[in-house]
Amino acid sequence: MSGDFPVESGGSAASDDIGEVVRFDVVGHGDGVRVMHVVGEIDTLTAPVLRDRVTEQLAEVTLLVLDLTDVSFLGSAGLAVLVAAKDEAEQRKCRLRLVPGSRIVTRALEATGLLGLFEVADGVPQALEVNR
């Protein structure tokens, strides 16, 4: 299967809203490959929701790209979710790639020394390249 298509998970729409604070949009890119575009703030309120959405996706994919381009705040709870997601992806023998996309996300990862833990791409097209 090729091309982009919305993915529904857990019986809910591909887009989830937590008030006006955060939204998750999931798009499939062929067999076992999905991009989760995260929009908004990842803090102590929204990090558990991000964790749940990422866990759902990791159970069904071989590659999950987290597009954080439109994340306007990334707190310590969000950083902890990203590290846990990386560990879970490794346990499931799938790949997790981050697209930080903004200075806000990149700075949070750099300041905590976490940036080097992740496969990082400059954009979604680069993250989807097979031979990365």
- Residue 21: its pLDDT value, please? 80
Do β-strands 22-28 and 15-18 pair in parallel, antiparallel, or remain unpaired? antiparallel
Cα–Cα dist 38/24, whole Å: 5
Cα–Cα dist 100/122, whole Å: 7
Nearest to 24 by CA among 45, 59, 52: 52
- Residue 98: its pLDDT value, please? 97
- Residue 23: its pLDDT value, please? 93
Cα–Cα dist 78/83, whole Å: 9
Cα–Cα dist 18/112, whole Å: 26
- Residue 11: its pLDDT value, please? 31
- Residue 132: its pLDDT value, please? 52
Structural domains in the chain, CATH included, are 22-62+71-127 (3.30.750.24)
The one-letter amino acid at 24 = F
- Residue 20: its pLDDT value, please? 57
Cα–Cα dist 83/87, whole Å: 6
Mean pLDDT in runs of 10 for the chain (132 residues)? 40 43 91 94 95 96 97 97 97 96 95 96 92 52
Cα–Cα dist 14/16, whole Å: 7
